[in-house]
Amino acid sequence: MLTIAQAADQLKVNKKTLMRWDASGKFPAKRDTSGNRLYDQTDIVNHAQWFELRRKHRAHNRKLTAIRKEADKYLATQPLGPMENPRFHKLEDMKKAYDALRKWEREDKKITEEYSKLPEGFRAKLDPDA
């Protein structure tokens, strides 16, 4: 069993956050005879892995906007005015944009697969209503 300070340190959150989660029932703590909060080591390790995976996934998703913006330049066909010459894109530029998008998709798939490596009953602890 870990104290609230040890648990907060491993989860990289503030002790007050754990207290709020305990009060709301989101991440309840066990209590010792003095009323101090105690956390199971296994739960903390699993949550720490999940939090780190979530942080990684969010950072990865933030990259998508710029990648999509670059790739989308090559999707849209714009009508030409009566005096306009057609615009052609360089194949190298298109390839670079779509390669970046495919690389992002491969990395996203790997991150998503990492979620399945979390322990079997862990998902139920995160979302008991699911």
How far is 27 from 21, CA to CA, in rounded Å? 5
Q: How confident is the model at residue 107 (pLDDT cuts 50, 70, 90)?
A: very high
What pLDDT was estimated at residue 130? 47
Q: How confident is the model at residue 16 (pLDDT cuts 50, 70, 90)?
A: very high
Do 71 and 98 contact (CB within 8 A), yes or no?
yes
What the block records as the tokens of 108 is 């996203």
Q: State the distance between the two ends of the chain, measured CA to CA, in whole angstroms.
A: 27
pTM, two decimal places: 0.64
Q: Give the tens place of pLDDT for each residue, 41-74.
A: 888 888 888 888 888 889 999 999 999 888 888 7
How far is 27 from 24, CA to CA, in rounded Å? 8
Amino acid at 55: R
Report the chain's mean pLDDT, rounded to a whole number. Answer: 83
Q: Give the tens place of pLDDT for each residue, 17-42.
A: 888 888 887 778 888 888 888 998 88
